[in-house]
Structure formats: structure tokens, C-alpha cells
Amino acid sequence: MTNQIIAALSDDCRAVLAPRLMTRPIRAGEVLYVAGSPARSLIFPHDGMISLQTRLRDGRMIEQVQVCRDSMAGGEALLGVDRAQAHAVVVLSGEASWLPVADLIEARPHFPSLDRAILSHLSRTLAHTAQAVVCASVHTASQRIARWLLRADDMTLTDSFQIMQRSLAELLGLRLATVSEACSRLMRAGAIRYSRGTVTIIDRPLLVAHACECYEASLGVTC
């Protein structure tokens, strides 16, 4: 797998940027940067999932948007913002590449494919964020959890991944008991299996049926 933004670039653009990329594994629970830190690098996941989060006054960390292989973290730097606007925390282990913002800005005028990829990413991110606001406002915990699991399944291309119910509760701003009940409901329906922190999707069409309309709406976001 590779990041879809990088894959969309022309061969000559990738050849210029490749030596400047630093690629390494990312591990669940790892904090890649915190809100307010200097925006110096862009992060392109190839696998796994990064969660951009806001810290509330009571200490809770709520997810704004997921960053996976179809997107990048730190994109606000390309809009002239010099400080990170959120905490970037790895929720599903994988691999990612770092690229200094200055290197991308230097290359951008020379490669139309790079400019198109960036604008497409920023447009998709805005659309996904807006959809997440709607989802959190009107849909049930079970629907939102099903949607989150489907997104993880799409982006990791594996039917099993490690995620604790407590982590899901924190990300979605839900009570642990609510998440536990929702997962139990999905298990009884035969959509997933959950054991010792490992979620396995055993009937994807059934899980789609339990998700809210926001999941299919997000699939139609192409810019």
C-alpha cells in the first residue's frame, strides 16, 4: 500500500520528493505532534490510522477527523498556518512518511500534479469534517461506531485490527458503557467479533446496514 496523495503525483514529481521523505512505522498510542507545535512537516500514512484530536477543558480528547492512506496530517501548514491546530495521535498501527513543509512548498510551483493532489486533499478533508459534524449530531452510537469500523476496514485493508472499546469511547465522545453496549449489539447481529481488543469484521454488508448514511455519503466524496 502507499498513500493515495503520493500515488496521484506524476513520476517526475515523486522522483524529486522521494529522497526527502522519511518513512517509518507508526504505533498505536504514539503522539506525532501536539496542538500549538510548529507546523514543520506533513505526514502521509501508508497504512494504519492517525486521529486528529481536540483536547477539551475536562481533559477528554475528541476526534476531529481520521487521517489514513487517502489523506495527510499537517495540511493546514499549506494554508499559511504556522502552528498545528490539533493533536495527531496514532490509533491503528501502520507506516507513514514525513515530508518537510518547506520541501513541498518549494516543489509545488513546478509540478501541476502536486498542486492538484493538495487541493483535492484539502477539499476532501473539509467535506469529511462537515459530514462528521452531522453524524455526531443526529446518529446513534451504534451507527457511528459501525461507520468508524468501516472506515478503518477500508483504509487498512484488513478485516481485523486492534482498538480498545475505551479508545473508541474517547474518540467519539461516548460513555464506555454505551460503546460496550453498541459493540455487543453488533456482535449479536453477527456483524463483528470483538475479543481482547481485536475487532474482526465478519459480515461487512451487515455492518454497512448498521451504519448511518454518513458512511456511504463519505464514499462519494471525490474532489
Task: Kindly tell me the number of DSSP H helices and DSSP E strands found in the chain.
Answer: 9, 8
Residue 222 has pLDDT above 70, yes or no: no
CA distances 133 to 45, 118, 139, Å, are: 23, 23, 10
Which residues are paired to 52 by β-bridges? 65, 88
What predicted TM-score, i.e. pTM, was given to this entire model? 0.89
Query: CA 98 from chain center: how many Å?
Result: 16
Answer for the pair 89, 53: CB distance below 8 angstroms, yes or no.
yes
Distance (Å, rounded) from C-alpha 3 to C-alpha 91? Answer: 17
pLDDT for residue 220: 60
Separation CA 53–CA 214 (nearest Å): 20
Residue appearing with cell numbers 451504534: 142
Q: pLDDT (tens digit, 9 = 90+) per residue, 141-179?
A: 999 999 999 988 888 877 788 999 999 999 999 999 999
